[in-house]
Structure 1
Amino acid sequence: MKSSLLLETTDRVLTLTLNRPDSLNSFDENTLTGIVEALKQADHNQEIRAIVIRGAGRAFSAGGDVKTMGSATSTEVYEHIGILNTCIKAIKEIEKPVIASVHGFAAGAGFNLALACDLIIASEDSQFALSFSKVGLISDGGGSYFLPRIIGPHLAKEFFFSGEPVTAGRLFDLGVLNRIVPSENLDEETTDWAVELASGPSKAYGMMKKMIDRSFTLSLDEILEQERITQTLLISTEDHAEGVSAFKDKRRPTFTGK
């Protein structure tokens, strides 16, 4: 039986490939639980310092499987979304950078999975859609949380209400995507970016990720105190010592993630 999720580790980068190309990498339980388990293991593996999520075949992910729509019971839908939620939280909680590498189409929960990642790189010809309204549903997978924080409530409502595809170019202009590249360069550019992050100060990246995500719910006083405590801890890391030494020697630092 073909695995619905492929795992590969190269140059301290774990690549997770959604592998249901015949259904445009729509999510099934095995895919979602596989992502969760892979991220749990990566979180405790110091040899993995960055993660990429991509799709096999013609698309990143179509999100929910249209073949099961209309036939699933309320209980089954509730349980499936619970698994999806666990996957989204695993991406947000891992203290390592996660890059979504998007080509073709990212729709529904597939778009929201990309939004949950820390960074998004996409091919210039890719398209994104929050197509829930087309089937009389609301967003799941955290889209109602992530998108308004990036583009504001008015545009988010427009995208959710219309459900129409949005180009990569427009989302780049709105700050949703970090980078857009020619489709033939997507894999190479993604790899280069991930390897660059994997060679960085991993502990500091993890703390930055937490601090930025928490900034939407904490007060200024709380963030200031979090920064104060975190900085006090990070000055004792090997990466900080290496960074200071490299700065004084006018050379590129060699971080170990410790």
Structure 2
Amino acid sequence: MDVDIIHFKRPEKHNALDLDHLKEIYDELRGCRNPVVIYGEPSFSSGLDLNFVQNASEPEIIEFADIANDLILRIASHPKPVVAFVKGYTFGAGFSIALACDAIVADENAVFSTGFAKLGIAPDMGVSFLLPRITGLKRALRLLSTAERFGVDEAIRLGIVGRKGNLDDAVDLARRMDGNSIKYIKELVYSGFREHVMREKEMALKSIEDMRRT
């Protein structure tokens, strides 16, 4: 069984996301027809590129938000399993992308943070929907409001990561999760997700506008 591999391509920036890079990842996912594994070297993704945020025009910020949130929805609605293989930094937008995947396999050196509170912006890209359902409400509130960093063992304990492993393990898991029922399972599990993500996007754009004014 074929598995489509999507990998981030800004290793020198720990795969921080600017508009061009985000578009590239988005276009790759749109072309996938098989189970998918998403990964990055040396980090999964350190999140939003702050240089982009500081220098982008308002239309570029809006376009980034539109594509970023549609990427999350496409991951959730992809009719095949989507697995994240995580190593290094998995922060902010990168954390949201990993969390939106149907499973996460993590390297021993993976470090996680919700990230958004460090920037003073609202949680975005599905994280405020998914995280409470994985960790419980109070833990999610703590992780979102403090943006504290935590390692792979804590991520496993919280239920965020399924297991330690490598890229081959993630590919194997994507194959094992595939089947005739997966598209129906995902449609049921992610019921109500789109409406929440759209609300998140509105709040995130408002908070980014406020941040850029200060």
TM-score w.r.t. length of structure 2:
0.82
> Quick one: which amino acid aligns to residue 191 of structure 1?
V
CA distance in 1, matches of 2:11, 2:130: 26
Per-residue deviation, residues 170-199 of structure 1 (Å, max 9, x unmatched): 121111111123xxxx123223223434xx
One of 23, 27, 38 as aligned partner of 2:13: 23
TM-superposed deviation, 1:30: 3.1
One of 24, 28, 37 as aligned partner of 1:34: 24
TM-superposed deviation, 1:93: 1.0
In structure 2, relative to structure 1, the CA distance for the partners of 1:208 and 1:29 (3 Å cut) is same
One of 130, 140, 154 as aligned partner of 1:170: 154
SS at match of 1:25: coil
> Quick one: which amino acid aligns to residue 165 of structure 1?
R
SS at match of 2:186: helix
CA distance in 1, matches of 2:55, 2:29: 31
Among all aligned residue pairs of Structure 1 and Structure 2, give the percentage whose two residues are the same amino acid. Answer: 31
Higher RCO (Cα < 8 Å, 6 or more apart) = 2
In the alignment, what sits opposite 1:59?
A: 43
TM-superposed deviation, 1:106: 0.2
Matched, 1:119 2:103: yes
TM-superposed deviation, 1:215: 8.2
SS at match of 2:80: coil
In structure 2, relative to structure 1, the CA distance for the partners of 1:34 and 1:72 (3 Å cut) is closer
> Quick one: which amino acid aligns to residue 7 of structure 2?
T
Matched, 1:212 2:189: yes
Structure 2 unaligned regions, length at least 5 = 195-214
In the alignment, what sits opposite 2:72?
A: 88
In the alignment, what sits opposite 2:164?
A: 180
TM-superposed deviation, 1:143: 1.1
Per-residue deviation, residues 51-98 of structure 1 (Å, max 9, x unmatched): 000002x10001100222333344432221111011111111111000
TM-superposed deviation, 1:216: 8.1
Q: In terms of Rg, which structure is larger?
A: 1
In structure 2, relative to structure 1, the CA distance for the partners of 1:62 and 1:216 (3 Å cut) is closer
Per-residue deviation, residues 106-132 of structure 1 (Å, max 9, x unmatched): 000100000111111101221101122
Conserved? CA contact 1:33–1:87, under 8 Å: no
> Quick one: which amino acid aligns to residue 65 of structure 1?
D
Per-residue deviation, residues 187-230 of structure 1 (Å, max 9, x unmatched): 23223223434xx42x311111212222889xxxxxxxxxxxxx
TM-score w.r.t. length of structure 1:
0.69
CA distance in 2, matches of 1:148, 1:73: 33
Conserved? CA contact 1:109–1:139, under 8 Å: no
In structure 2, relative to structure 1, the CA distance for the partners of 1:60 and 1:207 (3 Å cut) is same
TM-superposed deviation, 1:156: 1.2
In the alignment, what sits opposite 1:225?
A: none
Greater mean alpha carbon deviation, residues 112-121 or residues 166-175: 166-175
CA distance in 2, matches of 1:20, 1:160: 26
Greater mean alpha carbon deviation, residues 151-160 or residues 206-215: 206-215
CA distance in 2, matches of 1:171, 1:113: 15
Conserved? CA contact 1:112–1:143, under 8 Å: yes
> Quick one: which amino acid aligns to residue 110 of structure 2?
S
TM-superposed deviation, 1:33: 2.6
- The structure in which a higher percent of residues are helix is 2
